[in-house]
């Protein structure tokens, strides 16, 4: 079922709710952590280009169906000539107390063939806007779970997708603040 969630599961009759953060990130590094209720059916936690997140959920059902294959069906090699751009969003898929690990990524797992790891108590997300990179962490042990590229050509928002119901608690949002120096009675204070 977690593999089907990676294909968005639009061919089945489940409710899909998208929650987009109200604060877009346009520079620097940002970090936040959340707790996902282990009894949640399927939850996607991540980031995406503000302009593309809404489009993602407005695509017609048959286009993103697991039966739809965007490949042309021939092996001409023409598909290989394009330079791969980073995706407009990156999500970690969580369900039934486990995290789905994407294929071909440098995810940490005790099972070398494994595709899931146990859900930690808190998940940390770190977006490096200038590098166009998002990293997901076990926010308790600070062990990296997954890192991938993401398109940062415009404002990027934290986003959470609930498929078939779920719950999470956002614990902290730390954005990159510009340091400013304030002098009070001869003492300098950095905010």
Q: What is the pTM of this model?
A: 0.69
The answer to whether residue 146 scores a pLDDT higher than 80 is: yes
Pairing state between β 16-20 and 168-174: unpaired
Q: Which residue has the higher pLDDT, 103 or 190?
A: 103
Higher-pLDDT residue of 142 and 179 is 142
Structural domain spans, the chain: 16-59+86-102+114-170
Provide CATH code, domain 16-59+86-102+114-170: 2.60.120.920
- The string of pLDDT tens digits covering residues 104-126 is 444 444 444 448 899 999 999 99
Read off the pLDDT of each residue in 55-64 and give the average, rounded to a whole number. 53
- Would you say the C-alpha torsion 69, 73, 77, 82 has a positive or negative sign? negative
Select the more confidently predicted residue: 73 or 37. 37
Q: CA distances (Å), 120 to each of 117, 145, 151, in order?
A: 9, 10, 27
Task: Indicate if the pLDDT at residue 79 is higher than 60.
Answer: no
């Amino acid at each position: 079922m977690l593999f089907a969630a990676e294909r968005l599961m639009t061919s089945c009759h489940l409710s899909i709710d998208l929650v987009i953060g109200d604060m877009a990130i346009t520079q620097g590094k940002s970090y936040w952590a959340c707790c996902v209720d282990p009894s949640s059916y399927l939850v996607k936690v991540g980031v995406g280009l503000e302009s593309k997140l809404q489009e993602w959920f407005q695509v017609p059902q048959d286009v993103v169906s697991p039966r739809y294959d965007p490949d042309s069906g021939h092996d001409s090699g023409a598909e290989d000539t394009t330079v791969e751009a980073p995706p407009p969003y990156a999500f970690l898929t969580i369900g039934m107390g486990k995290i789905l690990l994407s294929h071909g990524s440098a995810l940490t797992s005790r099972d070398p063939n494994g595709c899931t790891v146990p859900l930690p108590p808190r998940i940390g997300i770190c977006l490096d806007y200038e590098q166009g990179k998002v990293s997901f962490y076990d926010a308790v042990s600070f062990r990296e779970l997954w890192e991938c590229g993401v398109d940062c050509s415009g404002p990027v928002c934290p986003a959470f997708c609930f498929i078939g119901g779920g719950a999470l608690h956002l614990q902290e949002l730390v954005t990159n603040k510009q340091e400013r120096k304030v002098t009070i009675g001869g003492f300098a204070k950095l905010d």
